[in-house]
A and B are shown apart, each in its own frame.
Chain A
């Protein structure tokens, strides 16, 4: 099946997820080479348009595009005509007219990437995070990391801890992992459990110990202080005491439990430093490496066909 865009994981087929994970596995070999360059996308251009702050996602996309010999242009909210009030539509139409071949977009509004995709009907748009909706390449890189650590996804119990309601990472994980046969638990303060949780393929917990019991994988989310406009929990210290994940807390999980965190980390809040830095349990640096491989696989997939 041919797709123009990657906007979410919710509408991906399991076979498409598997295809992306398999190709990304092969791309890891290129990342390990002394000369990291293949000619696949030579003469193609990719624009990364970020209306929200990002270090790893933007760098990861640009690195992936450059390894595949594409040219990259980065537009950030603060330094582009976006501050002059240029709309998303005009930004897209302008870049399209310049001959940019593919677009990577991050925006604070859910659905912005789909909207952007509608302005360029013949060119790929990749969602790099839209509001609280989805962050599909993060979901894919988490799945790749889990598959590498565990050898499979099917049959695993994965617990996602933290601010589920504001997390596009959580949504992409929930859809992807459940499609690939894992059973997904979410846990956090009841104010941070999404109102539509009953419509998601998850079991909902509000007690961390219960949610961690027998878990194969724990994905610890960042507490997004920038989205906390109202008080969702009384204090950071209370959050850390009730929902901060540490080695001691993981005693009830499987003995070979694997811990992920999408970064950036609030050390000592949602995750203990000793846990984040333990290479036996934490696969956080693998996630970063896999992020580049997944973005290469995504660009390869969407920019492959002549349209």
Chain B
């Protein structure tokens, strides 16, 4: 969304490489299973766009550990954002091929920052049904919350200044896995 700003920023510093991402995400898969005592009623929903592949990776990780696949889907939140009047989003398609009613849902996103995306996602999920609980898994928590949100699973806590920009690159979209931090230029 803020991608156009990157060109004006100084070169990136890599804060996670592909191996670190894989290990952190494998740990998160274990933590999800530990906290929920297995996969009963569990389902994963990724926030478009980067939450999609990250969700599929967690599903694969959980399958390796438990030998079974959990249901998963993707959620578009652009119609639920509170900043929609300031930019013109391309709307993605929500695809959740199961009923979320009564399930334990783990929401998945790449970076947790102000919490506004998560607020929008909770609103979007609420319109689809009433899960028994919703948890939040993020690859990076960079702080600076503007809303009372707390992640349940964190790949890496990354102290940042508010003016910095954190970019998660995924092999599915960007050719390689890594997390970079850009300073204001």
Contact = CB atoms under 8 A, between A and B. Distances in A.
B165 interface: no
Interface in A2-24: 2, 19, 22-23
Interface residues of B, number: 17
Contact of B80 (A25, A35, A38, A300): A38
A235 interface: no
In the complex, which of the residues B86, B94, B127 has the most CB atoms of chain A within 10 Å of its own CB atom? Answer: B127
B91 to A, nearest CB: 4
B92 to A, nearest CB: 6
A299 to B, nearest CB: 11
Given A35-B127, A68-B79, A40 B90 contact: no
B88 interface: yes
B135 interface: no
Contact of A29 (B84, B86, B93): B93
A301 interface: yes
A190 B84 CA distance: 49
A231 B36 CA distance: 76
B88 A39 contact: no
A304 B79 contact: no
Contacts of B84: 40, 304
A23 B91 CA distance: 5
B123 to A, nearest CB: 7
A306 B88 contact: no
Nearest to B127: A35
Contacts of A301: 88
B85 A305 contact: yes
Nearest to B88: A304
Nearest to B128: A33
Nearest to B95: A29
B76 interface: yes
A94 interface: no
A40 B80 contact: yes
Contacts of A23: 90-91
B80 A39 contact: yes
B90 A39 contact: no
Contacts of B128: 33, 35
A89 interface: no
Given A38-B127, A40-B79, A22 B90 contact: yes
B85 A25 contact: no
Contacts of B80: 38-40
Nearest to A306: B85
For chain A, the bracket of interface size reads 20 to 34
B88 A38 contact: no
A68 B84 CA distance: 13
Given A304-B84, A305-B85, A38 B93 contact: no
Given A26-B91, A27-B91, A300-B91, A38 B85 contact: no
Nearest to B120: A39
A306 B86 contact: yes
Contacts of B79: 30, 38-40, 68, 300
Contacts of B95: 29
Contacts of B76: 26
B86 A19 contact: no
A304 B82 CA distance: 11
A25 B76 CA distance: 13
A305 B85 CA distance: 5
By Cβ-Cβ distance, the 3 closest A-B pairs, closest first, are A26-B91, A38-B79, A40-B79
Interface of B: 76, 79-80, 84-86, 88, 90-95, 123-124, 127-128
Interface of A: 2, 19, 22-23, 25-27, 29-30, 33, 35, 37-40, 68, 297, 300-301, 304-306
Given A19-B90, A300-B79, 11 more contacts: A22-B91, A25-B93, A26-B93, A29-B94, A30-B94, A38-B124, A38-B127, A39-B80, A39-B123, A297-B91, A305-B85
15 contacts: A2-B88, A22-B90, A23-B90, A25-B93, A29-B94, A33-B127, A39-B123, A40-B84, A297-B91, A300-B91, A301-B88, A304-B84, A305-B85, A305-B86, A306-B85
